[in-house]
Structure 1
Amino acid sequence: MRWGVLLAALALAATGCEGGQAADGDLDLPDPVVETEVTTDIDYVALGDSFSAGPFIGTMRTDPTGCARSRDNYPAFLADWLDVATYTDVSCSAATTADLYERMRMFDGKTTRPQLDAVSADTDLVTIGIGGNDFGIYDSLIRCQDGTLATCPVADLEADARKVADRVEQAVRRILKRAPEATVYVVGYPDILPTEGTCAAVGASPAVLGPVTRVAGLLNDSLQEGATAAGATYVDMEAVSEGHDVCAKGRAWVNGPRFRAGIAAPFHPKINGMRAVAAEVFREITGEAPELSEYAEPDPDAVVLNRP
Structure 2
Amino acid sequence: MRQSRIAACVSSLLLSAVCTLTGTAPAQAAPRAAATGYVALGDSYSSGVGAGGYFASSGDCLRSSRAYPALWAASHPRASFSFTACNGARTSDVMEHQLGPLNTRTGLVSVTAGGSDSGFGHVMTTCVLRGNTACLAAVAEARTYMDSTLPRDLDRLYTSIRRKAPAAHVVVLGYPHLYKVHGTCTAGLADTSRSALNNAVDHLNTVTAKRAADHGYAFADVRSAFRDHEICSPSPWVRSVSLLAPVESYHPTSLGQSRGYLPVFTRTA
TM range (shorter): 0.7 to 0.9
Which amino acid in 1 is paired with 2:158? V
Q: CA deviation at 1:271?
A: 0.8
Q: CA deviation at 1:169?
A: 2.7
1:151 aligns with one of 134, 137, 141: 134
In structure 2, what is the equivalent of residue 216 of structure 1? Answer: 201
In structure 1, what is the equivalent of residue 190 of structure 2? Answer: 205
Which amino acid in 1 is paired with 2:233? A
- Residues 65-111 of structure 1 deviation map (CA, whole Å, 9 limit, x = unaligned): 12111111110111122222211000100110010223xxxxxxxxx
In structure 1, what is the equivalent of residue 106 of structure 2? Answer: 123
Q: Which has the larger radius of gyration?
A: 2
- The answer as to 2:262 corresponding to 1:278 is yes
1:62 aligns with one of 56, 63, 67: 56
Listed as ranges, the gaps of 5+ residues in structure 2 are 1-33
Which amino acid in 2 is paired with 1:267? Y
Q: Is the 8 A contact 1:167 1:226 kept in 2?
A: no
Q: CA deviation at 1:254?
A: 1.1
Q: Is the 8 A contact 2:184 2:233 kept in 1?
A: no
Q: Distance in 1 between matches of 2:186 and 2:226?
A: 17
- Give me the TM-score of the superposition, normalised by structure 2: 0.79
Q: Distance in 2 between matches of 1:274 and 1:164?
A: 25
Which amino acid in 2 is paired with 1:44? Y
Q: CA deviation at 1:202?
A: 6.5
Which amino acid in 1 is paired with 2:58? P
Q: Is the 8 A contact 1:144 1:212 kept in 2?
A: no
Q: CA deviation at 1:221?
A: 1.0
Q: Identity across aligned pairs (percent)?
A: 26
Q: Distance in 2 between matches of 1:191 and 1:116?
A: 28
Aligned to 1:155, what secondary structure does the other structure show? Answer: helix
Q: Is the 8 A contact 2:90 2:113 kept in 1?
A: yes
After the TM superposition, which of the residue ranges 69-78 and 148-157 deviates more from structure 2?
148-157
Q: Is the 8 A contact 1:144 1:208 kept in 2?
A: yes
Q: Distance in 1 between matches of 2:251 and 2:50?
A: 9
Q: Distance in 2 between matches of 1:201 and 1:217?
A: 25
Q: Distance in 1 between matches of 2:233 and 2:125?
A: 18
Q: Is the 8 A contact 1:57 1:270 kept in 2?
A: yes
- Residues 142-200 of structure 1 deviation map (CA, whole Å, 9 limit, x = unaligned): 42254434213233221112332332232112101111100100000112222x22543
- Residues 196-241 of structure 1 deviation map (CA, whole Å, 9 limit, x = unaligned): 2254386111122222221121111111111111110000012321
- The answer as to 2:87 corresponding to 1:93 is yes
- Residues 265-304 of structure 1 deviation map (CA, whole Å, 9 limit, x = unaligned): 111111111112111110122xxxxxxxxxxxxxxxxxxx
Which amino acid in 1 is paired with 2:157? A
In structure 2, what is the equivalent of residue 165 of structure 1? Answer: 151
Greater than 3 Å deviation, 4+ residue runs: 145-149, 198-202
Q: Distance in 2 between matches of 1:202 and 1:168?
A: 36
In structure 2, what is the equivalent of residue 76 of structure 1? Answer: 70
Q: Distance in 2 between matches of 1:223 and 1:278?
A: 19
Aligned to 1:161, what secondary structure does the other structure show? Answer: helix
Q: Which has the higher contact order (CA 8 A, sep 6+)?
A: 1
In structure 2, what is the equivalent of residue 306 of structure 1? Answer: none
Matches within 5 A, 1:284-295: 284-285=268-269
Aligned to 1:69, what secondary structure does the other structure show? Answer: coil
Which amino acid in 2 is paired with 1:130? A
1:247–1:65: structure 2 CA closer, same or farther, 3 Å change rule?
Answer: same
Q: Distance in 1 between matches of 2:219 and 2:240?
A: 26
1:243–1:56: structure 2 CA closer, same or farther, 3 Å change rule?
Answer: closer
Q: Distance in 2 between matches of 1:176 and 1:63?
A: 28
Q: Is the 8 A contact 2:50 2:252 kept in 1?
A: no
Which amino acid in 2 is paired with 1:284? T
In structure 1, what is the equivalent of residue 45 of structure 2? Answer: 51
Which amino acid in 2 is paired with 1:83? P
* Residue-pair matches, total: 231
Aligned to 2:162, what secondary structure does the other structure show? Answer: helix
